[in-house]
Amino acid sequence: MGAVMAGSIDLAGTGVVSSLALMAAGATQFKVIATPNNFGRAEGVLVRSNVSGVAQLKGKKIGVTFASSAHVLILDLLKQAGMNADSDVSLINLPAPNLLSAFQGNQVDAAVAWTPAFDRIKALPNTRVLADDTSFSLYKEYNITPGPDVLLATTKLTKEDPAAIKAFLQGIFEANAMLTNAPEEAAKVLIEITGLTLEEQLNTIKQTGWYNGEQQRGLLVAPGSFVTGMQKLAEMLVSLKQIDRAPVVRNWLDASYI
């Protein structure tokens, strides 16, 4: 987001939490132009196999990357369970790559992670997924996860070269079609970039919903459920003390390129 704000890049993909924080601060350097995917089952809370409910996390140490979608997920789940994140549990701020070793070494009792760390921790013996993003309180009604990905364009680019934005989104939709229809082929291409094993990459692809152009229109234009969900998420972030105020999300949306 720093590069977008500085004007160093014209197009970007990022988690929506950082975008909402900048919206709340009044930043006008970017527009949200699309949401490429749904990672609802590729992020979650991982625990020892003897833990069967969120209430059993009371008094436990939970590893999570602060100011991330995983952080929002655990704060919401604790609130749903009537627990206080400041006093009932100890949230330990850890970079995502460190969560696996912290969980393995019993430095934390639970870990909240997204893929690939999510899949690597899940594969450990005597480990289970306590909840994933589908348990997030806004998911069922709005199909929105704690930190969905969004695609951004600089406000400058929207004024100077809208054709470039349309071409970019066309490429995104073509890639999403490949990820949906030919995941094995897509995985072979992606491992050269991501460094994941073929199995890890394939799992990531298959756990994710890849939106096409028609789905984009339904999410952002008519009826615009994703936009409504983003607004609800912004309001939730205020209640969870992650941002100071809820911006009017539609003021940062430009879905004219879909």
Of 26-30, 64-68, 119-123, 220-224, the range with the lowest mean pLDDT is 220-224
Tokens of residue 84, six digits: 């206080």
Residue 31 lies in a domain: yes
User: Does pLDDT of 141 surpass 90?
Assistant: no
pLDDT at 121: 97
- Tell me: do 29 and 51 sit in the same domain: no
User: Does pLDDT of 223 surpass 80?
Assistant: no
Mean pLDDT of 202-220: 91
User: Does pLDDT of 153 surpass 80?
Assistant: yes
User: Does pLDDT of 145 surpass 80?
Assistant: yes
Query: What is the pTM for the complete model shown?
Result: 0.88
CATH number at residue 82: 3.40.190.10
Residue 88 lies in a domain: yes
Rounded Cα–Cα distance for residues 134 and 77 (Å)? 11
Q: What is the mean pLDDT of the chain?
A: 94
Tell me: the pLDDT tens digits for 24-42? Answer: 999 999 999 999 998 888 8
Rounded Cα–Cα distance for residues 243 and 17 (Å)? 9
Q: Who has greater pLDDT, 18 or 91? A: 91
Report long-range pairs for 215-223 (Cβ below 8 Å, ≥24 apart).
216/34, 216/35, 216/173, 216/255, 216/258, 217/255, 217/258, 219/35, 220/34, 220/35, 220/253, 220/255, 220/258, 221/255, 221/258
Structural domain range at position 111: 43-142
- Tell me: do 157 and 239 sit in the same domain: yes
Nearest to 239 by CA among 76, 50, 47, 56: 76
pLDDT at 196: 92
Q: How far apart are the first and last CA of the chain?
A: 22
The number of domains in the chain is: 2
Nearest to 126 by CA among 46, 54, 42, 200: 46
pLDDT at 96: 95
- Tell me: do 126 and 194 sit in the same domain: no
Tell me: the pLDDT tens digits for 45-89? Answer: 999 999 999 999 999 999 999 989 999 999 999 999 999 999 999
| Domain closes at, from 142, 174, 199 | 142
Residue 258 lies in a domain: no
User: Does pLDDT of 184 surpass 90?
Assistant: yes
Buried b (16+ CB within 10 A) or exposed e, 204-232: bbebbbbbeeebbeebbeeebebbbbbbb
Rounded Cα–Cα distance for residues 154 and 11 (Å)? 7
pLDDT at 29: 96
